Structure formats: C-alpha cells, structure tokens
Amino acid sequence: MDAVMQQVAEHKGCGTSGGSGKASCGSGAGENDLPQEIWDKVKNHPCYSEEAHHHYARMHVAVAPACNIQCNYCNRKYDCANESRPGVVSEKLTPEQAAKKVLAVASTIPQMTVLGIAGPGDPLANPAKTFKTFELISKTAPDIKLCLSTNGLALPDHVDTIASYNVDHVTITINMIDPEVGAKIYPWIFWKHKRVEGIEAARILTERQLQGLEMLTERGILCKVNSVMIPGVNDKHLVEVNKAVKSRGAFLHNIMPLISAPEHGTVFGLTGQRGPSAQELKALQDSCEGEMNMMRHCRQCRADAVGLLGEDRSEEFTTDKIMAMEVNYDMEGRKAYQVAVEEERQAKVAARQEELATLAGEASDIKILAAVATKGSGLINEHFGHAKEFQIYELSTSGAKFVGHRRVDLYCQGGYGDEDSLETVIRAINDCHAVFVAKIGGCPKGDLAKAGIEAVDEYAHEFIEKSAIGWFKAYLEKVKTGEIVHESRGDAEIRQGALIATAAAAE
C-alpha cells in the first residue's frame, strides 16, 4: 500500500481535528482533515465528499447492460440495484453515443465534474464498452473525473486497465464477507463459463471482491464500498464487512437501505423481505463511523442519472435530444464557473465556522434532527410543497452534521396541497424536531405543528448549517428557561413508495 493510501486507511473521520479544531465526520471530512492528494481527488466528487454534493454534479452513461451475478434485490429488467435505484429502465448507449452525451451534459451543466459507469448491469461484465467509453471521454473531456461501480467479480482481471485509464474512483458493492450470509443474497454467479450456485458462489465472490479492493488501493485508486442493508440477513454482519474493507484501505463505506417493493419483482420484494427504518439505518451507520468514513448522502441513483445527486435531469438528455444538440465544449468556461462555485462554497464554510464559534461553551447532551428543503448550493432555497426530498441534519453542540436524506411525494399538486402526501412527508421526517423551508403555507405548517414538527421559514435563502446552528442555539435556550420541554422523537420511514412514484413518472 503506498504512503497516501496508508494515510487514507488510518484516517478516522470522527475525532480528526479539522481547521476549526472541531471533529469532522465521515464523507463530510474537509480540506484540513485529509492529505492534500486525497483532498484533490475528492473535493469536486459529489459522492466521495458530502460537502461537494451540494455544489457539484455527476452523470452516468448506461453502456453496460450485461451482468455476471444475480442479486436477490435485483430484477434484470431494471438497472443495477447495487448502484442504481431499481424501477427505471435506462436507454442503453453505445460508447460513441455516451461520449456525445457527456459533452452535451458538460456543456449545459458546468458543475458536472464526474462521469460514472454504473450499469445498468455490471461495467466489468461489459469491459470493451466500458473502457472504450472511458477512452473516448478522456480524449475529448480530460477535465472530467472517471468513476466506476462494480460488483467486484471480474475486478481483479481489470485493475491494470482501470489504472491505465486514470480512473481515480472505484466503487465495489460488498454485502458480506461470510459465504453463508452471501448465499442468502446471491443465488448464483457466472464464473469461468459456468453458473456456480450457493455458498461456493458467495465464497468466490467475496474472495474476488476483497482481492480487487486490495489491488486497487495498492495502486492508489480511491475505493468506496457500497453495502445494501438487509435486516435479518446482513445487518449485523455489516459491522464485520466495515472492518474488513477498512483494513484493506477502502476510503469510504456507503451503507444503503434495501429497496424491496413487491412491484419491482425482485426475490426480496416478492418474499416480503423488508428494508430498514430510518433509525435502524442511522444506528448502523453511526456504529461504523468510528472505524472509517461513512457516506450518508447516496441517492441510489439510476444508471443514466444526470445532475446534482438530489435532482434528476436525465429527461433533458435523451439520445434523441443529445444527437440533435450542437455541442460546444468550453473547458475554460467550465473552469471559470467552477471557480465561482468554489467561492460560494468557501462563503458557506466561513458562515458555518462563524456561527459554530457562538456555540462554544454550550454544554448540553441534546441531539436533534432537522429536515431541510433545498435545491442545492447549501442553501434553504426550496418551498415545502415543491420538495421531492428533505436533507436531514443532526444538531448538537458540535454543530450541524448532514446525516441523510428522505425522499417524499410532492405535497404541492399544482396549486393545492395533497393531504395524503402531507401524511407521507410527516412519516418520512417524523424523527425530526423541525423542518427548514424557503416558504410554507399556513395549513401544512399547522398540520406539521400538530405532529410535533416546527416548520421554520425565517431562514429562507440562507446557508443551511449556519441557520440550523442559530435555530438550535435558540432551542437550547428555550429548554434552559423552561419555555419548552425537550422530548425525543420517534422513528421515520424510508419511503419506498416515493421511489416507485418517481420511477413511474420518469418512465
């Protein structure tokens, strides 16, 4: 393992001293928490840096249709569920179409910094298409970072090629290191021209995944491990997985909830295997965070996703549309735009630090969650009724820490509020004490208050963390003076229904 990767392996998100002297957690680790070489690799990557995901976008090109394993949470009719939300069929692209699409998107969305190949099958089960795409893009758009996500079975065979294309970021989905657990997740793999089943299949898969991870980190390639949390199958075991991947140099661990609605037609969906609740997911992520960087901002996006992680602009870039587009790839213009984004980002960090300093000396064990309606840039800039997701922050005397997001059904249905949707929003953010919004009507505000959630609109268009810290300070003051009594909130729902609704709308 080279010196830089050794530093990555040893880096513990929590308890690391940041520029402010404050502990920095997980993929929220900032410039002062990481070696310079690593910071340069992650600072503009929306998946590898939580901080970057408010400002920078990624895109996927769906050039890899085939897969070499079967996961019980996957229905082959749909995208790879390891890295993509199931339920949406992607348009398959040739490498040449993909290269044109990248130029079209990069010209339209200058903050798009990363091109990922994540399916709809496994990129390394389609190596010719995957590497041809990388080759074309590295020639025409050399400023774009290349990223890859794989189930890992074929990974050891391709590590040198991956390194030769300067792919800096690789994700491996590792759901187990114990073949007995694996046999409950993977019915078969396709290995050396034949189908292998059961424990033997899982044994080969885990060996190849861990071998591939070691080979990548030895070459200085930054690795993220995705794990799907399947209650009763691998939830407890994922703590062991976390230790195993950390010891092999993984930079980031992304524990994602199982999506298993029966409508998807997957084995887990049809057998009634449930996904985790919001609290179960957070508890597992928290328990692993002392070991290594945890990603909590993954959107389980599709194999043709385009835009900021929380938005989906893929409909603007269908094959018909991109083939008709006049593309003007202006690298200097992109650079200039990104300089402005960086200034905005620095202003946000400075505002947070300034507000955080005012919390110094506050002694309280209270930790609460708050939901935020945002369109990006780290601002409270979305109306309650227009939010398709809420970002979740944990507020404590250490500051405001991003801990997740919740997808919801739109409350505002073209001029009127939908009461059923409001119910689902409340269930999705039921563990929060407050929801920060740019604007909200009197009716939903009242209904939220009845459910014990305060709708806060006085920080409209201000920075999220600075505002949340300010509000939390006032909350602590009210508790101290006895104006309010602090009470814990209940659990919340990870909205599988909202995923299906969005998917259906996109089809």
- Tokens read off for 311: 């938005």
**Segment lying near ligand CLF (by CB under 6 A), choices 236-244, 299-307, 390-398, 462-470:** 299-307
Answer for which of 50, 122, 394, 462 binds ligand SF4 (CB under 6 A) is 122
Largest CA distance in the chain: 71
Answer for which of 41, 54, 55, 60 binds ligand CLF (CB under 6 A) is 60
- Tally of residues, the chain: 507
Distance between CA atoms of 377 and 425, rounded to whole angstroms?
23
Q: Which is closer to ligand CLF, CB of 170 or CB of 356?
A: 170
Instruction: Examine residue 81 and tell whether it contacts ligand CLF (CB under 6 A).
Output: no
Cα 1 from chain centroid? Answer: 27
71 binds, among ligand SF4, ligand CLF, none (CB under 5 to 8 A by kind): ligand SF4
- Among the listed residues 28, 48, 34, 21, the one whose alpha carbon sits nearest the alpha carbon of residue 400: 28
Instruction: Examine residue 254 and tell whether it contacts ligand CLF (CB under 6 A).
Output: yes
Answer for which of 26, 46, 121, 470 binds ligand SF4 (CB under 6 A) is 121
Instruction: Examine residue 299 and tell whether it contacts ligand CLF (CB under 6 A).
Output: yes
Distance between CA atoms of 302 and 311, rounded to whole angstroms?
11
Phi and psi torsions of 285, nearest 5°: -60, -45
Distance between CA atoms of 369 and 392, rounded to whole angstroms?
7
Say if strands 368-372 and 389-396 run parallel, antiparallel, or are unpaired. Answer: antiparallel
Q: Which is closer to ligand SF4, CB of 70 or CB of 287?
A: 70
- Tokens read off for 233: 């199958």
Instruction: Examine residue 189 and tell whether it contacts ligand SF4 (CB under 6 A).
Output: no
Residue numbers 26-85 binding ligand SF4 by CB under 6 A: 67, 69-71, 74, 80-82
122 binds, among ligand CLF, ligand SF4, none (CB under 5 to 8 A by kind): ligand SF4
Q: Which is closer to ligand SF4, CB of 84 or CB of 374?
A: 84
Instruction: Examine residue 298 and tell whether it contacts ligand CLF (CB under 6 A).
Output: yes
Phi and psi torsions of 160, nearest 5°: -65, -40
Distance between CA atoms of 27 and 23, rounded to whole angstroms?
12
Answer for which of 25, 47, 429, 469 binds ligand CLF (CB under 6 A) is 47
3-state secondary structure 186-240: CCEEEECCEEEEHHHHHHHHHHHHHHHHHHHHHCCCEEEEEEEECCCCCCCCHHH
Q: Which is closer to ligand SF4, CB of 67 or CB of 109?
A: 67
Q: Which is closer to ligand SF4, CB of 91 or CB of 457?
A: 91
Peptide bond into 231 cis (omega under 30): no
116 binds, among ligand SF4, ligand CLF, none (CB under 5 to 8 A by kind): ligand CLF
Q: Which is closer to ligand CLF, CB of 253 or CB of 334?
A: 253
Contact 449/435 with Cβ under 8 angstroms? no
Answer for which of 44, 113, 133, 149 binds ligand CLF (CB under 6 A) is 149
Site string for ligand SF4, 129-168 (x = CB under 6 A): ----------------------x-----------------
- Tokens read off for 357: 């300093």
- Tokens read off for 110: 């200058």
Contact 93/126 with Cβ under 8 angstroms? no
Phi and psi torsions of 288, nearest 5°: -90, -15
**Residue 392 CB neighbours (<10 A):** 25
147 binds, among ligand SF4, ligand CLF, none (CB under 5 to 8 A by kind): ligand CLF
121 binds, among ligand CLF, ligand SF4, none (CB under 5 to 8 A by kind): ligand SF4
67 binds, among ligand CLF, ligand SF4, none (CB under 5 to 8 A by kind): ligand SF4
Answer for which of 300, 314, 424, 496 binds ligand CLF (CB under 6 A) is 300
CA distances from 200 to 186, 207, 225, 362 (A): 11, 11, 22, 55
Number of residues that bind ligand CLF (CB under 6 A): 18
- Tokens read off for 453: 């959630």
Contact 148/123 with Cβ under 8 angstroms? yes
**What's the min distance (Å) between Cβ of 253 and ligand CLF?**
11
Positions that interact with ligand CLF (CB under 6 A) = 47, 58, 60, 83, 114, 116, 118, 147, 149, 169, 171, 224, 254, 298-301, 309
Positions that interact with ligand SF4 (CB under 6 A) = 67, 69-71, 74, 80-82, 121-122, 151
